[in-house]
Amino acid sequence: MALAETEQLTRMIASAALSRAICTIGELGVSDHIKAGSPQSIQTLARLTGTHERSLYRLLRFTASYGVFRESGDREFDHTVLSAALCTEAVGSFRPATRMFHRMFKGWDGLDHSVRTGEAGAVQVFGEPMFDYIGRNPELGPLFDAGMTAFHGHETQAMLDAYDFSEIRTLADIGGGNGLLLAAVLQRYPQLRGVLFDLGHVAGRARAGLADLGLGQRCSVVEGSFFAAIPAGADAYLLRHIIHDWTDEQSIQILSNCRKVIPAHGRILLVEFSVPAANQASLGKDVDMMMLAFPGGMERTEAEYAALFEQSGFRLATVTPTKSAVSVVEGRPV
């Protein structure tokens, strides 16, 4: 094997360290101790974060080579755009995502099991499905909510700019989490009413958040499992990064439950990655590995969404791309 290929594969194998390093930086809160334009010494950073100075230096030197921090002067570090995004008070801070994965990182150990069996690797690692594990550990719930907002919050504006919700009267957000997505749609479209549907331990947090935003009168919160039944009464059902968590069989069950309550003139909206053609790099293919190892779901192609719709009583109507990596996949009742 040529030297170039050997070194490239070596870097790929070692790249797991980059993910772990970013999660460690987020957990330690390193970014919070640097003010942009005023480089901070490694001695001070180690003291403020309670870490081993030389080891922290090696960690930051490593991440700086990927654009997370910039080393300047004598072992001093300043912000880059990426490291600044890890500050707690940054707008759309990405720190919650790193803190979530800091605790869930061992789920990657299940990837080998997933590839061999097709099963969710997290079950092998955590002893139960990932969402059951999160629900059974209440300290993880708020971290998961915040982490998902960090991962996907930027998609909301892109979705609103790309897709027209003006003809919808009542929008149900299925698996709506902390309610921030539905809140953004309601704020953009003041004539809309909303229904947020999620499990009990999630719905309570969403109810409080919607009330704080002054949307409690326009949005009801319903507790339940989308595998059992979906609340009726909406003319559009929105599922953002829900279907990607589940197998085809489970996804068909969720979509079929939506079909039972959706009116003939209604629509179902999946906000998901649409996986592109072979060999083309995409964020969707990267996240697909997370889906394989953690919940046991998958990212899908446009044809695969069409197949899910066909088997659950819908037809694929449109796929609307956004400025982000996701698209709005619209289905209409057959």
Write out the catalytic residue numbers.
Answer: 244
What is the 3-class SS of the chain, one letter each residue? CCHHHHHHHHHHHHCHHHHHHHHHHHHHCHHHHCECCECEEHHHHHHHHCCCHHHHHHHHHHHHCCCCCEEECCCEEECCHHHHCCCCCCCCCCHHHHHHHHHHHHHHHHHHHHHHHCCCHHHHHHCCCHHHHHHHCCCHHHHHHHHHHHHHHHHHHHHHHHCCCCCCCEEEEECCCCCHHHHHHHHHCCCCEEEEEECHHHHHHHHHHHHHCCCCCCEEEEECCCCCCCCCCCCEEEEECCHHHCCHHHHHHHHHHHHHHCCCCCEEEEEEEECCCCCCCCHHHHHHHHHHHCCCCCCECHHHHHHHHHCCCEEEEEEEECCCCEEEEEEEEC
Residues with Cβ within 8 Å of 187's Cβ and at least 6 positions away in sequence, in order, are 213, 215
- 304 near 270, Cβ under 8 Å? no
- 179 near 206, Cβ under 8 Å? yes
Neighbours of 115 (CB within 10 A): 13
